[in-house]
Structure 1
């Protein structure tokens, strides 16, 4: 069974890179352009894992994470933050909001795929 991934990023280039890498790895990929779009698509796609940027217009990644965690159906969905940011205070803020992990851009495809399998396995085991 292939995993369903919701990838949220305001950069079209990053969305295209994620779509190409994750589709090639056998995942079913859905894309959103910002946190608001991500929350809209969250209910429609029922993803196994969410990947979100932090710095986005309309609703940033922190707002998305908080919104996702406030919903019963997505409270346990693993959320990986994929961003250029690496400051410890931002990582702590994301963790406090409910993020599962943090990956710094530019991303290594194999590490990202490995992280997705790892957090999806944590969900299945839990």
Structure 2
């Protein structure tokens, strides 16, 4: 099933790669390069899934997750936390913030697509 996906990723190469993977799987991707626009874009687009990097330039991804989950207009959106940080503390912090899925960027295409495809 095709989904509307909002991708919050400040690294251009990763943003392009994930966008291609998602589009080839049939999803519509709305990329957000500046995470400060995430709240406005999420409310406007109302995506099925938000994928957010954790290490961003202006905001911490965990802050984005907790704010989106606290807002009535975005709290039901599935959120995938995606990061190169690979510690139990980071994973627990992402889930505590409200992430539905935690993925390390090393997991690859199929794991990312499975997280998006999940009902």
TM range, normalised to the smaller chain? over 0.9
Structure 1 residue runs of 4+, over 4 Å off? Answer: none
Q: Which residue is 2:63 aligned to?
A: 63
Q: Which residue is 1:92 aligned to?
A: 92
Deviation (angstroms), 1:35: 2.8
Task: Point out where structure 2 has 5 or more consecutive residues left out of the alignment.
Answer: none
Question: 58-67 or 20-29: which moved more?
Answer: 58-67
Task: Point out where structure 1 has 5 or more consecutive residues left out of the alignment.
Answer: 122-126
- What RMSD in Å do the two structures reach over aligned CA positions? 1.2
Deviation (angstroms), 1:84: 0.2
Number of equivalences: 119
Deviation (angstroms), 1:2: 2.1
Distance 1:62 1:78 in 2: 14
| TM-score (normalizing by structure 1) | 0.88
Distance 2:82 2:112 in 1: 9
